Amino acid sequence: MAANERRAILVVDDVEVNRVILREIFQDKYTILEAENGIEALEVIDAHGEILAAVVLDIIMPVMDGFGVLEILHERNFMEKVPVFLITAECTEESTLRGYELGVMDVIERPIIAHIVKKRIESIMELCTMRNQLNQQVQLQEIELDEKTKEIQGLNNAMIGALATAIEFRDCESGEHVKRIHDLTLFFLQKTAFGKGLKKAEIDKIATAAIMHDVGKIAIPDYILNKPGRLTAEEFLIMKTHTVRGCELLDQIPAIHHNSVYHYAYDICRHHHERWDGRGYPDGLKGDEISPWSQIVSLADVYDALTSERIYKQAYSHEKAVEMIIGGECGIFNPALMEEFLKLSREIKEMMQSQQSGCGCGKIGESQADSSRGESA
């Protein structure tokens, strides 16, 4: 609607004298549009809906009565923006109740008194205008808040990614490892029943949290973290503490505790080395005691460890890695997850081949896949 265009009131009544009376009441401030029945009224609304300030509607009319119009407008949610008034000579309790149920703002009984009708209708129109303006303001503020939230979340994710990548470099691994864990986690949640019921925003948060899975390695001594050969039993026990040390680190950042990413990251940090048969660590969880996202990150971590080159081994092929995982050489996984893993094997291979470009250094570390170091959780 143009800024200088007058707002309009649509008067719907099959009796011309009734339309004339209402026209005389409101024409000084509004353009008056008229219709003689419900069908004409809907045509006018479709043609001039943008300039309508109100609709004054008779009940008893030919072709389509007032309630027929109301039912259609109610389905369109039209009355959320434009107030509709019923005006009738037969103002029964039943018709009044039905009108209000369909969303009218007021029911006015004939014969009308001009100044009273004018005051009632204009007062309600003013309230509706203020309500609409308030709703628009709230919507704008919600958009601004959403943009700010996304901006802050983006910064948080960038910092999380930087920290996780720094830890990977300390471990002599490519920073691409955390990206692959993120992408594999996202892939499994989007493609399998393990992400069923999760909204896109939650799936994105879990994938972001997944890159923090090994943040506890920052507390592991370099001589263990970067040892090229087999870990001793004592060294392996220390290596395994990275799960709980990661949670301790997250606990020391209270500013992120309100963020749901923190709760996912905490769970993943602690439980991405648990196994379906209860032989994982640190808590010996088994079966569905392990959250779906921790199960997925665990699988992603092992798969990426097997298919990535390390300083003491060549990368296994995708086919060999799948064989080892399905065969239980890397610990026992959820059979349902293994079934999904096999179904999606070709897609996983194609995705990883396009992404995996490791630096040729690093190691599997304490992963259950690390049979070459003589240790298995």
Boundaries of domain holding 251:
172-356
| CA–CA gap between residue 47 and residue 323 (Å, rounded) | 66
Q: What is the mean pLDDT of residues 209-215?
A: 91
In a domain, 152, yes or no: no
Same domain, 183 and 263: yes
pTM attached to this predicted model: 0.59
Same domain, 214 and 328: yes
Same domain, 198 and 305: yes
Residue 138, burial from CB neighbour count under 10 angstroms (0-12, 13-18, 19+): exposed
pLDDT score for 9: 95
pLDDT digits (tens, 9 = 90+) for 272-294: 999 999 999 999 999 999 999 99
pLDDT score for 151: 76
CATH of the domain at 344: 1.10.3210.10
pLDDT band at 164 (very low <50, low <70, confident <90, very high): low
CA distances from 336 to 184, 187, 288, 296, 341 (A): 17, 16, 11, 11, 9
Catalytic, out of 179, 205, 217, 363: 217
The more confident residue out of 168 and 318 is 318
pLDDT exceeds 70 at position 190: yes
Nearest to 61 by CA among 119, 98, 15, 100: 15
Same domain, 113 and 225: no
Residue type for position 45: I
Same domain, 206 and 106: no
3-state DSSP helix/strand/coil % of the chain, to nearest 5? 60, 10, 30
Q: What is the mean pLDDT of residues 113-127?
A: 91
| CA–CA gap between residue 327 and residue 100 (Å, rounded) | 67
In a domain, 369, yes or no: no
pLDDT exceeds 60 at position 1: no
Active site residue 191: no
pLDDT exceeds 90 at position 173: no
pLDDT exceeds 90 at position 244: yes
**Domain tally, the chain:** 2
In a domain, 246, yes or no: yes
- Indicate the DSSP class of residue 310: B
Same domain, 201 and 329: yes
What three-state secondary structure class fits 272? coil
Same domain, 294 and 339: yes
Low-confidence winner among 57-71, 171-185, 301-315, 346-360 (lowest mean pLDDT):
346-360
pLDDT score for 230: 84
Same domain, 195 and 289: yes
Same domain, 217 and 79: no
Same domain, 328 and 206: yes
